[in-house]
């Protein structure tokens, strides 16, 4: 409610902010992350096995990579409004398709499509909102838009386990109906075009490589792989490997969503105090500890802390990396650099999902995945700190060295 009150906007602009919130709720919160809460039911009903669940997650992330890479092209060819409408409806249809386990290949296709539409919504919806807002309101409005991801995760964690008792197909159909409703509700809200600095990335000059850029990219890539166990296996790990049951797993996923809803704003305050560089390093360090915690101390308090912290830092690390790009590159280069970093993140996350599935197949224990994820995040922490110190020495930094 505080976020709404702080946005002193005309009604049409506030409605557009809410549409952006609905788009990320649909494409990312429901279309992408609700899958984790449905994995135990799909396995329990014999739709697939644990290893296949990892491959489905990989198909979704590959689709997300395709959608993120092609979103600007889609908007230019169809215009912005039709592109967003198609992506919203496409998400709803992909969720409905998941209610029909015709074959494993069918489910792979459905999850791939959900990834594509989610990537398009991520690339286009937030810029569509921010480009229409006065500059002084963009930070608060952007935080509200990205809260849609956490709200979707929270919804899936609370509601899906209850629906799963009626059947996994019913749970998928419920998500599809909600996504369709949000598509209809936002149908007339989207602007017809996207102009200005927040628009889709056009073909143009390459981004000059700064000495600090590979370190930042590698640190962000470690994050992409490191939290895969939580976004794919967390509910199943709590429900089956720890023996807590599906309801307990769903509760932990809802806590993950609460963290995701609160994380960007909270880390924004931290970044305002300590700078993006230090905050990014801190976020990766805390995230590494939170991923390792349930393996080192599989107790209820540890599970709660892990759910909330990993949930909070999942969207927050993206926000901090974006902020770091913004403060270190001149305006004409920022968006293209961020687009490339986002595509690299999606690619590494897809590879991470496949590698985690293979690791599970070899080890047979999900705890090994969390150890691997925590190790990747620890490596990312070291790389992020090396990046920060390189910039602090003033080597080719175009902004504050923090």
Model confidence at 62: pLDDT above 50: yes
Taking alpha carbons only, the member of 311, 204, 213, 206 closest to residue 262 is 311
Tell me what the mean pLDDT of segment 52-80 comes to: 85
Model confidence at 3: pLDDT above 70: no
Model confidence at 353: pLDDT above 70: yes
Tell me what pLDDT residue 204 has: 46
Taking alpha carbons only, the member of 327, 325, 319, 220 closest to residue 265 is 319
Which residue, chain included where needed, has tokens 């709590």? Answer: 238
Tell me what pLDDT residue 131 has: 67
3-state secondary structure the chain: CHHHHHCCCCHHHHHHHHHHHHHHHHHHHHCCCCHHHHHHHHHHCCCCCHHHHHHHHHHHHHHHHHHHHHHHHHHHHHCHHHHHHHHHHHHHHHHHHCCCCCCHHHHHHHHHHHHHHHHHHHHHHHHHHHCCCCHHHHHHHHHHHHHHHHHHHHHHHHHHHHHHCCCHHHHHHHHHHHHHHHHHHCCCCCCCCCCCCCCCCCCCCCCCCCCCHHHHHHHHHHHHHHCHHHHHCHHHHHHHHCCCCHHHHHHHHHHHHHHHHHHHHHHHHHHHHHCHHHHHHHHHHHHHHHHHHHHHCCCHHHHHHHHHHHHHHHHHHHHHHHHHHHHHCCHHHHHHHHHHHHHHHHHHHHHHHHHHHHHHHHHCCCHHHHHHHHHHHHHHHHHHHHHHHHHHCCCCCCCCCC
Distance CA 240, CA 234 (A): 10
Tell me what the mean pLDDT of segment 257-280 comes to: 83
Contact (Cβ atoms closer than 8 angstroms) between residue 50 and residue 359: no
Tell me what the mean pLDDT of segment 158-181 comes to: 87
Phi/psi class of residue 167: alpha, beta or left (left: φ > 0; alpha: ψ in -120 to 50)? left
Tell me what pLDDT residue 71 has: 80
Tell me what the mean pLDDT of segment 140-145 comes to: 68
Distance CA 229, CA 279 (A): 23
HSE of 152, CA atoms in CB hemisphere, 13 A: 29
Tell me what pLDDT residue 292 has: 96
Tell me what pLDDT residue 205 has: 46
Tell me what pLDDT residue 209 has: 56
Model confidence at 237: pLDDT above 80: yes
- Averaged pLDDT score across all residues of the chain: 82
Which residue, chain included where needed, has tokens 């290949």? Answer: 105
Model confidence at 201: pLDDT above 50: no
Torsion from C-alpha of 384, 389, 395, 396, nearest 10 degrees: 40
Distance CA 172, CA 256 (A): 20
Which of 33-37, 225-229, 394-398 is the most confident on average?
Answer: 225-229
Distance CA 67, CA 72 (A): 9
Tell me what pLDDT residue 17 has: 84
Model confidence at 158: pLDDT above 80: no
Tell me what pLDDT residue 187 has: 92
Which stretch of 125-129, 253-257, 307-311, 370-374 has the lowest confidence by average pLDDT? 125-129
Q: Which residue has the higher pLDDT, 12 or 244?
A: 244
- Percent of the chain past pLDDT 90, that is, above it, reads 33
Tell me what pLDDT residue 2 has: 44
Tell me what the mean pLDDT of segment 110-127 comes to: 89
**pLDDT grade for 110, boundaries at 50, 70 and 90:** very high
Model confidence at 401: pLDDT above 60: no
- Percent of the chain past pLDDT 70, that is, above it, reads 85
Which stretch of 83-92, 200-209, 238-247, 360-369 has the lowest confidence by average pLDDT? 200-209
Tell me what the mean pLDDT of segment 57-78 comes to: 84
Tell me what pLDDT residue 202 has: 45
Tell me what pLDDT residue 196 has: 45
- The gap from C-alpha 153 to its chain's centroid, in whole angstroms, comes to 10
Count of beta carbons in the 10 Å neighbourhood of residue 185: 13
Q: Which residue has the higher pLDDT, 106 or 74?
A: 106
Integer CA distances (angstroms), 388 to 94, 317, 341, in order: 41, 15, 17
Model confidence at 398: pLDDT above 50: no
Model confidence at 1: pLDDT above 50: no
Which stretch of 50-54, 109-113, 266-270 has the lowest confidence by average pLDDT? 266-270
Tell me what the mean pLDDT of segment 384-401 comes to: 71
Contact (Cβ atoms closer than 8 angstroms) between residue 37 and residue 156: yes
HSE of 264, CA atoms in CB hemisphere, 13 A: 23
Q: Which residue has the higher pLDDT, 387 or 354?
A: 387
Model confidence at 396: pLDDT above 50: no
Integer CA distances (angstroms), 106 to 2, 126, 260, 276, 357, in order: 43, 30, 30, 42, 19
Tell me what the mean pLDDT of segment 114-126 comes to: 88
Which stretch of 23-37, 69-83, 90-104, 186-200 has the lowest confidence by average pLDDT? 186-200
Tell me what the mean pLDDT of segment 393-398 comes to: 56
């Amino acid at each position: 409610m505080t976020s709404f009150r702080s946005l002193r906007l005309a009604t049409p602009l506030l409605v557009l902010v809410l549409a952006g919130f609905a788009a990320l709720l649909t494409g990312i919160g429901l279309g992408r992350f609700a899958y984790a809460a449905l994995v135990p039911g799909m396995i329990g009903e014999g739709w697939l096995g644990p290893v296949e669940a990892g491959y489905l997650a990989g198909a979704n992330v590959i689709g997300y990579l395709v959608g993120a890479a092609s979103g600007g092209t889609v908007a230019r060819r169809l215009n912005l409004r039709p592109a967003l409408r198609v992506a919203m409806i496409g998400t709803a249809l992909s969720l409905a398709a998941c209610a029909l386990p015709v074959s494993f290949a069918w489910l792979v296709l459905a999850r791939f499509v959900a990834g594509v539409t989610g990537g398009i919504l991520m690339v286009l919806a937030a810029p569509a909102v921010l480009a229409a807002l006065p500059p002084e309101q963009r930070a608060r409005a952007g935080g509200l838009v990205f809260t849609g991801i956490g709200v979707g995760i929270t919804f899936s964690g609370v509601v899906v386990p209850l629906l799963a008792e009626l059947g996994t197909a019913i749970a998928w159909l419920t998500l599809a109906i909600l996504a369709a409703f949000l598509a209809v509700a936002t149908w007339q809200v989207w602007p017809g075009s996207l102009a200005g600095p927040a628009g889709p990335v056009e073909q143009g000059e390459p981004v000059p490589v700064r000495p600090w850029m590979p370190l930042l990219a590698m640190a962000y890539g470690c994050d992409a792989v490191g939290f895969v166990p939580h976004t794919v296996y967390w509910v199943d790990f709590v429900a089956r490997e720890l023996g807590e049951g599906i309801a307990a797993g769903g509760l932990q996923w809802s806590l993950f969503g609460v963290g995701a809803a609160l994380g960007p704003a909270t880390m924004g305050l931290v970044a305002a105090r300590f700078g993006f560089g230090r905050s990014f390093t801190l976020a990766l360090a805390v995230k590494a500890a939170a991923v390792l915690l349930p393996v080192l101390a599989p107790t209820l308090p540890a599970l709660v802390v892990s759910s909330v912290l990993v949930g909070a830092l999942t969207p927050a690390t993206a926000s901090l990396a974006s902020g770091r790009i913004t403060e270190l590159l001149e305006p004409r280069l920022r968006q293209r650099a961020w687009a490339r970093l986002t595509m690299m993140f999606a690619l590494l996350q897809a590879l991470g999902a496949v590698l985690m599935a293979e690791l599970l197949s070899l080890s047979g224990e999900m705890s090994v995945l969390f150890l691997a994820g925590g190790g990747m995040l620890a490596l990312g922490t070291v790389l992020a700190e090396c990046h920060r110190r390189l910039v602090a020495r003033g080597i080719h930094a175009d902004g504050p060295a923090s």
